[in-house]
């Protein structure tokens, strides 16, 4: 099937998807992911939205309020972060406090949905989409805590987890490029920056029209080209740093093993009494003081 090369989704989030005219694209993506009809009410300010690529934490945030008043955080992350799960937890906690007015009841706390589009391998797992929620299990009966009828009426929710933050992790690079459903069609676009003609997911038709590189002005194309170059540079630097770190760790491990071997040989020679300390030091490459220290041990 034919496909068209499009602007990357993270650049689109920074430049194009903030316009109300393009809400349909973002609504389509969220609707396919959350399996419900999402309508965006407004784009909310996010302090991590910056114009330059090498911004804080090397991420792109888009924070929106949907028609139900829930807050959805969409984040794109390229660089490996071992504490990423803790960071997205911090992000939801911060969003809760940012959107809770002083003196209001806890019942007014906003529902937060965190969506992370990841271009690095996070954790261990064979899937490419993970969903995390909070539930409470009975210690003795193994049942799941439910909302009372009054709580359902009061909050307009059916399940406990619907009151608490939830998390979606999309591991883009783990996707096998075989689109089995409409969500996969979106992930195909996130990975390849292409939308095939046979795709039918919500929002993709609009994305195909609005995210066409050829529709950009000359100045926008130059900015986008610089952005991509910077992105490749950042990825290369991150990979180089990772590789150098691994090599340094292996080197230190080898050096530590050699050092332990020298000390072991020196100790055995000391215990045998065959050679004096100076000769043992010469043979093992240790200093006289180091050999003496072994003797004292």
Query: 103-158, pLDDT tens digit by residue?
Result: 788 888 999 999 999 988 888 899 999 999 999 999 999 999 999 999 999 999 99
220 located within any domain: no
Taking CA atoms, 281 is separated from 254, 258, 285, in Å, by 21, 15, 6
- Do 188 and 273 have their domain in common? no
278 has pLDDT over 90: no
- Do 18 and 150 have their domain in common? yes
pTM of the model: 0.72
Average pLDDT over residues 265-282: 73
Q: Is 27 helix (H, G, I), strand (E, B) or coil?
A: helix
CA distance 245 to 66: 43
Q: Quote the percentage of the chain above a pLDDT of 70.
A: 78
121 located within any domain: yes
Max intra-chain CA distance, the chain: 88
Which residues span the domain enclosing 285? 235-296
- Tally of domains within the chain: 2
Q: For residue 56, what pLDDT is reported? A: 42
- Do 120 and 25 have their domain in common? yes
Between residues 10 and 174, the one the model is more confident about = 174
Contact partners, residue 38, CB within 8 Å, separation at least 6:
27, 30, 31, 66, 67, 72
Q: For residue 10, what pLDDT is reported? A: 82
Residue carrying the six token digits 């020196």: 266
> Which of 165, 180, 215 is a domain's end point?
215
- Do 127 and 61 have their domain in common? yes
Q: For residue 160, what pLDDT is reported? A: 96
CA distance 152 to 157: 5
270 has pLDDT over 80: no
Query: What confidence category does residue 219 fall into, taking pLDDT thresholds of 50, 70 and 90?
Result: confident
> Which of 187, 215, 243 is a domain's end point?
215
Q: For residue 55, what pLDDT is reported? A: 45
Average pLDDT of the chain to the nearest whole number: 82
193 has pLDDT over 80: yes
- Do 106 and 176 have their domain in common? yes
Q: For residue 258, what pLDDT is reported? A: 66
Torsion-angle region of residue 177: left (phi > 0), alpha (psi -120 to 50) or beta? left
CA distance 170 to 191: 11
Which of the given ranges, 57-61, 218-222, 270-274, has the highest pLDDT on average? 218-222
Q: For residue 234, what pLDDT is reported? A: 56
Question: Is residue 64 classed exposed, middle or buried when 0-12, 13-18 and 19+ CB atoms within 10 A define those classes?
Answer: buried
- Do 202 and 242 have their domain in common? no
Average pLDDT over residues 151-170: 95
Between residues 237 and 33, the one the model is more confident about = 33
Which of 13-27, 114-128, 184-198, 278-292 comes out lowest in average pLDDT?
278-292
For residue 33, the Cα-to-chain-centroid distance in whole angstroms is: 16
Task: Answer whether 224's CB lies under 8 Å from 7's CB.
Answer: yes
Q: Which of 7, 3, 4 is nearest to 216 (CA)?
A: 7
245 has pLDDT over 60: no
230 located within any domain: no
Beta strands in the chain (DSSP E): 3-5, 40-44, 59-66, 71-77, 112-118, 129-132, 166-171, 194-196
225 located within any domain: no
Between residues 269 and 89, the one the model is more confident about = 89
């Amino acid at each position: 099937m034919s496909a068209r090369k499009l602007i990357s989704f993270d650049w689109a989030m920074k430049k194009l998807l903030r316009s109300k005219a393009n809400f349909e694209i973002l609504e389509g993506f969220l609707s396919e992911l959350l399996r419900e009809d999402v309508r965006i009410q407004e784009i909310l300010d996010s302090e991590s939205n910056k114009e330059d690529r090498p911004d804080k934490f090397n991420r792109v945030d888009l924070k929106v309020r949907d028609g139900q008043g829930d807050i959805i955080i969409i984040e794109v992350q390229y660089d490996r972060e071992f504490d990423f799960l803790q960071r997205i937890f911090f992000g939801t906690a911060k969003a809760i406090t940012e959107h809770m007015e002083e003196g209001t009841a806890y019942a007014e706390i906003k529902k937060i949905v965190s969506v992370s589009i990841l271009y690095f391998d996070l954790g261990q797992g064979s899937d490419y989409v993970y969903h995390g929620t909070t539930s409470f299990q009975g210690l003795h009966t193994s049942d799941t805590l439910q909302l009372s009828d009054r709580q359902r009426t009061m909050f307009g929710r059916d399940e406990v987890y619907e009151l608490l933050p939830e998390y979606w992790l999309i591991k883009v690079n783990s996707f096998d490029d075989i689109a089995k459903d409409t969500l996969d069609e979106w992930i195909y676009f996130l990975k390849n920056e292409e939308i095939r003609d046979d795709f039918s997911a919500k929002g993709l038709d609009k994305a195909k029209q609005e995210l066409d590189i050829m529709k950009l002005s000359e100045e926008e194309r130059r900015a986008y080209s610089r952005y991509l170059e910077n992105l490749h540079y950042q990825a290369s630097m991150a990979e180089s740093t990772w590789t150098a770190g691994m090599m340094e760790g292996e080197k230190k491990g080898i050096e530590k093993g050699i050092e332990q071997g020298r000390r072991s040989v020196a100790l055995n020679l000391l215990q045998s009494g065959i050679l004096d300390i100076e000769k043992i030091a010469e043979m093992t490459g240790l200093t006289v003081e180091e050999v003496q220290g072994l003797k004292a041990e």
